[in-house]
């Protein structure tokens, strides 16, 4: 029985098939584009995280400065109230003294 022998299939070498070679090149280009976009995204995320930390630190500095300013203003207001009370109290004492002096004479 003299069956015909089939030739062995040619090894699949993408460089020998122009379509496969083009497909492999396109796939590689797509992968590189994905990696580049991923890198850009990582850089953007790192930058955003740095900016957020910078703003947090700046916010803490502003809060500290404002707290000090508020305390200073409270102290100043308290001193002014005390001074006003002292003046008002002295005037009341002077008026009372004058009235009492008038009443006594």
Per-residue pLDDT of 39-66, as tens digits, reads 999 999 999 999 999 999 999 999 999 9
Query: What is residue 89's predicted lDDT score, i.e. its pLDDT?
Result: 72
| Residue bearing tokens 């200073």 | 72
Output 98 or 100, whichever has higher pLDDT.
98
From CA 68, how far away is CA 59, in angstroms rounded? 14
Query: What is residue 1's predicted lDDT score, i.e. its pLDDT?
Result: 47
Please tell me the pTM assigned to this model: 0.48
85 token code pair: 């009370």
Query: What is residue 102's predicted lDDT score, i.e. its pLDDT?
Result: 53
């Amino acid at each position: 029985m003299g069956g015909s022998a089939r030739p062995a299939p040619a090894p699949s070498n993408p460089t020998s098939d122009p379509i496969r070679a083009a497909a492999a090149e396109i796939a590689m280009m797509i992968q590189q584009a994905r990696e580049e976009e991923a890198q850009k995204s990582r850089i953007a995320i790192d930058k955003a995280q740095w900016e957020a930390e910078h703003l947090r630190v700046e916010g803490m500095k502003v809060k500290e400065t404002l707290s000090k300013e508020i305390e200073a203003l409270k102290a100043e207001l308290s001193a002014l109230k005390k001074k006003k009370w002292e003046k008002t109290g002295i005037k009341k004492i002077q008026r009372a003294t004058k009235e009492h002096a008038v009443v006594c004479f």
